[in-house]
Structure 1
Amino acid sequence: MHARAAAALTSVAGSVVIGVLVLPTAAQAAPANDRTVVVAHRGASAYAPENTLPAVDRASALGISWVENDVQRTRDGVLVVLHDTTLARTTNVEQLYPNRSPWNVADFTSSELARLDAGSWKGAEYAGTRIPTLHEYLRRVDRNGQKLLMEIKAPELYPGIEDQILRQLRRDGWLDSWDVKHRLIIQSFNADSVRTVHDRRPDIKTGFLGTPAVSELPKYAKFADQINPSHTTTSADYVKAVHALKGPHGKQLETYTWTVNDAQTAQKVAGFGVDGIISNAPDVVRAAIGG
């Protein structure tokens, strides 16, 4: 830089000042706009057992209106909220049912799951926490006045689960026009599952989890309102490519990125222009982006 030009630049709080104009440096990511959605991943799972009612309540106590969860199905056909397709990591299933390895969710009945402790692994204060059914989970989210980003987990293991989920949502009052418009998104890593939900209920907002090639985005935009990539595969150029398209409802395609748990990464992806950030520690993200 020319010496005279360099002398005119002054560093203030990590920014470069030119006259009265402040330009962010590379180390200072642009903040999110006031429409950036912060979503509690599996509830506020940094603080309470993931995908449980205490995690939903903790998100509510933090003032987080959106929660994310994962839905699977038991052997006797009950929809439950759990992330892993096996019960081993987040419950005491190995102690209660030692001879039933690999302890797949689909191999257990709902009454058997109801016996499991899904909280002690997170802390003694959560001992006895149960795996919620989808019905129980929906009622709690509704009671708290929250909104739901629902993931259909491994739908290839549960044929017909999309229709079953829609029936449960209808029974629990989540499919009236206001709820569909304002507080429900259904997503999956399985494109066929997302497409099925869109075909059954075109009014429901849907998301595809992953990072399709930019050349493939128009195909996804036919049935998904969101493209939701990992933060490790998100960039400003990718967000721009997503935003250049319209989804099935004729609105700009959105992107929610996951799983962001620290302030620096939150500021970085906010600077990319993402529409939402999914986090185990949503309060940390909210503070970092000024939401």
Structure 2
Amino acid sequence: MHARVAAAIATAALGVAALLSPTPVARAGESGEPTVIAHRGASAYAPENTLASIDKAAKLGFSWVENDVQRTKDGELVVIHDGSLERTTNVKELFPGRAPWKVKDFTAAEIARLDAGGWFSPAYAGTRVPTLEQYMRRVERNHEKLLLEIKNPELYPGIEQQTLKLLGNQGWLDQKHLGRLIVQSFSADSIRTVHELKPALTTAYLGRPSVTQLHQYARFTDLINPSYGSISKGYVCTVHSVEGAHGRPLGVFVWTVNDADTARKVKDYGVDGLITNKPDVVRAALEAG
């Protein structure tokens, strides 16, 4: 009788552990190739961080996309990379007297008026800056997976909690979606906060910690995501030797790889993922060996 009870408890414990542990992200060695992540969508072919860009990634056959999240003056989460609206919208034309056109100084309604595609190509004129809610709905419709970057968190107190709340409201924090979502940031404090608020979620630190710092970062992250030019084969091997927050070796996604030679080089380093504006170019290079 006691043995049956013990077995039942052990089974239950395993079930709880499974619920708390995210589905492993695809790693080199499991699929045979590094994961290819479309940077800000397929941003070489459509305006970055727009619905058009993730639609283009889907049409090219890529399931992983990356984006950047910031917050408007009135508290709406929007998908845009730069702290200023100047480079990727027509904000200077619509609001000429409001330099330096910071995202945080504009309301969601004002940002919704901006053209976020005309700068890229006349074919995309009228494309809008999406809210994170709109973006998540499109990612879901496209059956895509998301590497979400919390951008400039020091400008937006509480953005980690707000982002997780929105993701939860959109159904992206259930067990089915945990294997399709990674949250990353250049801020270690921000990623530590995300891990504390949602321990089951996969997290990534953007940057290149020193070898001596890796165990410290491994307490709250699952991946180390540096620029490709900052790493070596030895560094990747060392990262893989450290156990991350969910009991698996730390992974490495590198950015931003846009040419065949670099793709082959970092593949040889043993990286687990390549973040790229040109996912088709990178995929072809990896498949060609």
Q: Same fold (TM over 0.5)?
A: yes
1:125-140 to 2 correspondences below 5 Å: 125-140=123-138
Q: 1:44, 1:56 within 8 Å by CA — same for their partners in 2?
A: yes
Q: Which residue of 1 aligns with 2:35?
A: 37
TM-superposition CA deviations, 1:69-101 (whole Å, max 9, x none): 000000000000000000000000001001000
TM-superposition CA deviations, 1:186-242 (whole Å, max 9, x none): 000000000000000000000000001111111000001000000010210110110
Structure 2: distance between partners of 1:105 and 1:124: 24
1:1-291 to 2 correspondences below 5 Å: 34-180=32-178, 182-290=179-287
Structure 2: distance between partners of 1:49 and 1:199: 34
SS in structure 2 of the partner of residue 255 of structure 1:
strand
Cα 1:43–1:227 shift into 2, 3 Å:
same
SS in structure 2 of the partner of residue 283 of structure 1:
helix
Higher relative helix content = 2
Q: 1:229, 1:255 within 8 Å by CA — same for their partners in 2?
A: yes
TM-score, scaled to structure 1: 0.88
Q: 2:33, 2:286 within 8 Å by CA — same for their partners in 1?
A: no
Q: Which amino acid aligns with 2:241?
A: A
Q: Which amino acid aligns with 1:84?
A: D
SS in structure 1 of the partner of residue 251 of structure 2:
coil
Q: 2:191, 2:203 within 8 Å by CA — same for their partners in 1?
A: yes
Structure 1: distance between partners of 2:231 and 2:272: 12
Structure 2: distance between partners of 1:154 and 1:100: 20
Q: 1:37, 1:276 within 8 Å by CA — same for their partners in 2?
A: yes
Shift of 1:32: 11
RMSD of the TM alignment (CA)? 1.2
Shift of 1:34: 2.0
Unaligned runs of 5+ in 1: 1-30
TM-score, scaled to structure 2: 0.89
Structure 2: distance between partners of 1:234 and 1:150: 22
Where in structure 1 do 4 or more consecutive aligned residues deviate above 6 Å? none
Q: Which amino acid aligns with 1:140?
A: R
Q: 1:68, 1:149 within 8 Å by CA — same for their partners in 2?
A: yes
SS in structure 2 of the partner of residue 290 of structure 1:
helix
Greater Cα radius of gyration, structure 1 or 2 = 1
Q: 1:46, 1:281 within 8 Å by CA — same for their partners in 2?
A: yes
Between the two proteins, the alignment pairs up a number of residues equal to 260
Q: Which amino acid aligns with 2:143?
A: G
Structure 2: distance between partners of 1:161 and 1:242: 28
Q: 1:189, 1:208 within 8 Å by CA — same for their partners in 2?
A: yes
